[in-house]
Every structure is written in structure tokens, then in C-alpha cells.
């Protein structure tokens, strides 16, 4: 808009200079007369006024041109300064230089946690939606679960909590690369009670920071421990309340799989099969999950209780992290978000105290408030 105004002023200046009145006037010499720079006298004011009357059009045109030129100079200079500042800001924000590729199922709560972290910190990333049946998109990986985050094409991060802790550590500790940071979260394989090999990661709820950085991130006593405990609670308890609630009845199971098929990567036959056969299977599995985790007959009550416990722990603060979301806020938000659009989510918002916190989290995500 400023540039447009400058162009308009310049056009006015040229039109004045090119007008017949200005072209006919042969004055202006008095303004540059040597006597004009003397001490002056009674003759000066009449001669000056006469000059301005005779050559006023040309003077006015010059003034417009001069003003337009100065305005254009200022506009260009400000634009260049702003561009330079934006470029400098982009260079100074760690993580913006990383090439991130997220392999995911969109409706997976663990994948949603990672997206919440990346979006909050405004870290650009590419999404590869994995076919949950064939999983050919991750056939190159020995680790066969999602999420998987590839960093710069050669560093592979597995497990949602490891991904989040590694990247957060990297964003704060600028002295180490991502490949160096991830070594702090060693992989540990074991065999569970069912005889199945499982993979776990040490330290996955910890940030690997110096004492000074740790004091900046967690200025109050107990903040670090509180964040770790609630992050683990989201993984070990809250996540397991999702399936029994979204597949609680046959109608809800069908609605859930309709959403999964619509948002996921399925072929036409796979989509039909997943919607009807998958919904029936998950309805049955959800009953087993209810038994495994000792849930009530009405699993909604367990969801309501868990969510209200979370809100009670936040207390009068805006977020668990205080004035800004911390990693526990992002984890819980990521898990709950996968129910959006389903009956379980609507019931949760109506029957718990989570609504205000959830809306604040939505605004924080939308504004990418973690980028600072």
C-alpha cells in the first residue's frame, strides 16, 4: 500500500511538471540567484513571492517528485530490512533447518502426540501415511511400529516419547546434533509374559540438558518430575481408554472405522473390509481391553474420571506447564485429539471440566506458540 501511494505522488508530480502552465513559465531563476544567499533586504520578499507565483507549478511538481522518491526509498529500505530480519529469525530458530519426515497412522494417538509437538513448535515436516494392513511404506525399517520420524534422511527416531524428548533436547541444547542426542535413549529389548519380544527405551521421559538449561526449562521445584509423571500417565493409562470408548457399541465402532478409513490410507477393498470387519473385531477387542485394564462396565466413566484428574492436577494454572504448555500438556492433548468428531469426544467435552484447557491448547497449537 505504501508503494502504491508513492507511485501516485510521483504521477501527480510529473503531471504538474508537464502541465502547459508550468511549461510556459520561464521563471525559477530568481530562486537560484546569487543575491538570494545574501543578507537580504526589502527587495527579497516581493521577489521571492513573485518567483513562487510565476514558477509555483514547477516547484510544486518538484516537491511531489522529491516526496515520492523519498517515500519509495523508505518503502524499499523497510521491505529489505523486514526481509533480512525474517531471514535472520529463520536462521536463529533451531530445528527449522531439519528435514523431518513422519511415518504415521493419522488416527493413532501416539502419532497425534508427535504431530502436536511438531505443530506447537512450528517445525516443518512431511507426512507419509502408512497403510495399516500392508505397511509397505515402512518395509525398509526393522522397527515395524509407528510413529517413525526420519531426520535429514539418515537418523531414525522411534517411539513417540523418544521422538519428542530427543527433539526438545535438540531445540534447547544447541551443542549436540540429533544423532548425538538420540544416543541418550538406548533401545532395550525384552520378552513379555506372553513370550513376545518388546522394545523399550531408557530415559524416554527425560530431557538431556545441562544444569543451567534444566533450571531455565524447569524454574520451579517439582516441575520436571510432574511433567515426566504425566507424560508417562498419558502413555500407560490415558491411551488405553481411547479404544474401549470409541468402540464402546457397534454403532460407535462403525462410526470410528468410517472415520479411520476416510482419513487413513486404504484401497477400496481394504476400506470396505476395514470398516465392517475391522469394526466388528475392534468391538470385541475393546471388551477384552476393558477386562485387561479393569475398566467399569460403562467405560465412559473411566474416561471422565481420568480427564477430570488431569484437570484437577492443573488446578488454577492455564496449563500443566504454567503459562505455557509443557510436554505433558502436548501429550495429553495429542491423545485426546484423536477422538474429535466421534461421540466419545462430544460426551467427554460435555461431562468433564476439560473444555477450557482443551480450547486453550487448540489456540496454542494454531498460533504455534512454542516456536519462541
- The residues that are catalytic are 105, 108, 110-111
Candidates 45, 56, 46; CA nearest to 22 is 56
Sign of the dihedral through C-alpha 347, 348, 353, 358? negative
Per the CB < 8 A criterion, the answer to whether 334 and 113 are in contact is yes
Q: Which long-range contacts (CB under 8 A, 24 or more apart) does 31-35 make?
A: 31/55, 31/59
Place of cell 509407528: 146
322 phi and psi angles, rounded to 5 deg: 100, -115
Q: Cβ contacts of residue 157 below 8 Å, gap of 6+? A: 148, 149, 150, 151, 163, 166, 167, 178, 182
Q: How far apart are CA 159 and CA 170, in angstroms?
A: 16
Place of cell 481394504: 270
HEC profile of 186-237: CEEEEECCCCCEEEEECCCCCCCCCHHHHHHHCCCCCHHHHHHHHHHHHHHC
Q: How far apart are CA 151 and CA 154, in angstroms?
A: 6
Q: Count the helices and strands in the chain (H runs, E runs).
A: 16, 6
Amino acid at each position: 500500500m505504501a508503494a502504491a501511494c508513492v507511485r501516485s505522488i510521483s504521477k501527480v508530480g510529473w503531471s504538474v511538471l508537464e502541465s502547459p502552465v508550468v511549461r510556459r513559465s520561464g521563471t525559477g531563476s530568481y530562486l537560484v540567484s546569487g543575491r538570494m544567499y545574501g543578507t537580504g533586504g526589502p527587495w527579497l520578499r516581493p521577489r521571492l513571492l513573485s518567483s513562487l507565483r510565476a514558477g509555483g507549478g514547477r516547484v510544486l511538481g518538484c516537491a511531489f517528485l522529491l516526496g515520492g522518491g523519498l517515500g519509495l526509498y523508505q518503502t524499499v529500505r523497510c521491505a529489505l530490512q523486514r526481509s533480512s530480519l525474517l531471514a535472520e529469525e529463520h536462521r536463529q530458530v533451531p530445528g527449522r533447518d531439519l528435514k523431518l519426515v513422519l511415518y504415521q497412522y493419522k488416527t493413532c494417538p501416539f502419532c497425534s502426540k508427535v504431530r502436536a509437538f511438531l505443530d506447537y513448535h512450528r517445525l516443518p515436516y512431511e507426512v507419509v501415511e502408512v497403510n495399516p494392513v500392508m505397511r509397505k511404506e515402512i518395509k525398509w525399517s526393522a522397527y515395524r511400529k509407528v510413529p517413525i520420524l526420519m531426520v535429514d534422511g539418515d537418523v531414525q527416531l522411534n517411539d513417540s516419547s523418544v521422538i519428542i524428548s530427543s527433539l526438545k533436547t535438540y531445540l534447547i541444547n544447541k551443542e549436540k546434533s540429533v544423532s548425538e542426542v538420540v544416543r541418550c535413549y538406548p533401545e532395550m529389548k525384552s520378552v513379555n509374559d506372553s513370550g513376545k519380544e518388546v522394545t523399550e527405551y531408557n530415559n524416554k521421559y527425560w530431557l538431556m540438558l545441562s544444569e543451567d538449561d534444566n533450571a531455565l526449562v524447569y524454574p520451579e521445584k517439582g516441575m520436571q518430575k510432574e511433567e515426566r509423571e504425566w507424560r508417562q500417565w498419558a502413555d500407560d493409562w490415558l491411551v488405553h481408554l481411547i479404544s474401549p470408548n470409541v468402540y464402546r457399541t457397534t454403532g460407535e465402532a462403525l462410526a470410528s472405522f468410517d472415520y479411520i478409513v476416510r482419513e487413513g490410507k486404504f484401497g477400496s477393498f481394504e476400506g470396505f473390509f476395514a470398516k465392517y470387519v475391522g469394526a466388528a473385531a475392534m468391538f470385541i477387542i475393546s471388551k477384552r481391553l476393558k477386562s485387561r485394564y479393569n475398566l467399569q462396565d460403562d467405560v465412559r466413566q473411566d474416561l471422565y474420571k481420568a480427564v477430570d484428574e488431569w484437570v484437577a492436577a492443573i488446578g488454577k494454572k492455564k496449563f500443566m506447564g504454567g503459562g505455557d504448555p509443557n510436554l505433558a500438556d502436548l501429550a495429553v492433548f495429542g491423545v485426546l485429539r484423536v477422538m474429535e468428531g466421534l461421540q466419545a469426544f462430544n460426551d467427554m467435552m460435555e461431562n468433564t471440566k476439560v473444555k477450557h484447557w482443551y480450547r486453550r491448547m487448540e489456540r496454542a497449537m494454531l498460533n504455534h506458540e512454542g516456536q519462541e
